[in-house]
């Protein structure tokens, strides 16, 4: 591509990429496409020439901003993370790539910045799928833990209570009955826990 006001930006818009061309000294906007202007929300009252300086740079974290400014000063390519806020208040994440264009005599004529969305529907669906997968793995881990750990411990406690109830009954019939009731309560808790684990597994 060759630099030339909005020509390159318009070409990038055709493939869905916001883009802006900057003055190589002041970083003021010298050309952009509609996708870029929508990102920086011109309704906020910014002058077009300041859309990058006041609409993009403040959204970079300190490390990325310093890295980009160093690359800009050295006319070298840069790749940093940029965030914008949509009209609905959602955070939109982009990878910002910039490169310098040189004209005759190797003089830098402009710096082109292109924004590649990290929050496309495909990307979001992939994130949702990964999140759901992680949730299911965690549910499976918890079910296994309940079944193999807590459930088995409660089962052992129930058995111990029954044995203890038999021994206590020889000394005191009333205490033996209380111990038997306790053993039944623990056993019911084991059965309810196992039923809960099985029903959750079936629902998934």
Superfamily of domain 7-120: PAS domain (3.30.450.20)
Residue 114's CB is within 10 A of a number of other CB atoms, namely 18
Residue 109's pLDDT is what? 84
At residue 65, the pLDDT reads 94
How are strands ordered across the β-sheet holding 78-85? 29-32, 19-22, 108-117, 91-102, 78-85
Residue whose entry in the numeric block shows the structure tokens 């906007």: 29
* pTM tops 0.85, yes or no: no
For each of the chain's 204 residues, which pLDDT tens digit applies?
333 446 788 888 888 899 999 999 999 999 999 889 888 875 567 889 999 999 899 889 999 999 999 999 998 999 999 988 877 778 888 999 999 877 666 677 889 999 998 876 554 555 455 556 656 766 776 767 666 666 677 777 777 777 877 887 788 888 878 878 887 887 787 777 777 666 655 555
Residue 2: the pLDDT is 36
Domain ranges of the chain: 7-120, 135-194
């Amino acid at each position: 591509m060759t630099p030339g006001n909005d020509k390159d930006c318009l070409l990038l818009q055709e493939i869905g990429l916001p883009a802006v061309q900057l003055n190589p000294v002041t970083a003021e906007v010298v050309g952009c496409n509609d996708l870029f202007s929508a990102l920086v929300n011109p309704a906020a009252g910014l002058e077009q020439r300041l859309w990058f300086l006041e609409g993009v740079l403040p959204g970079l974290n300190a490390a990325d901003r310093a890295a980009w400014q160093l690359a800009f000063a050295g006319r070298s390519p840069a790749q940093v993370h940029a965030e914008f806020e949509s009209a609905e208040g959602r955070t939109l994440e982009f990878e910002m790539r910039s490169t310098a264009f040189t004209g005759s005599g190797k003089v830098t004529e402009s710096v082109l910045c292109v924004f590649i969305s990290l929050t496309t529907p495909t990307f979001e669906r992939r994130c949702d799928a990964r999140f759901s997968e992680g949730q299911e793995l965690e549910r499976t881990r918890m079910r296994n833990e309940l079944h193999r750990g807590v459930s088995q411990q409660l089962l052992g406690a129930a058995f111990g209570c029954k044995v203890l109830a038999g021994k206590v009954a020889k000394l005191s019939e009333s205490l033996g009955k209380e111990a038997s009731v306790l053993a039944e309560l623990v056993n019911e808790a084991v059965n309810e826990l196992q039923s809960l684990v099985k029903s959750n597994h079936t629902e998934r």
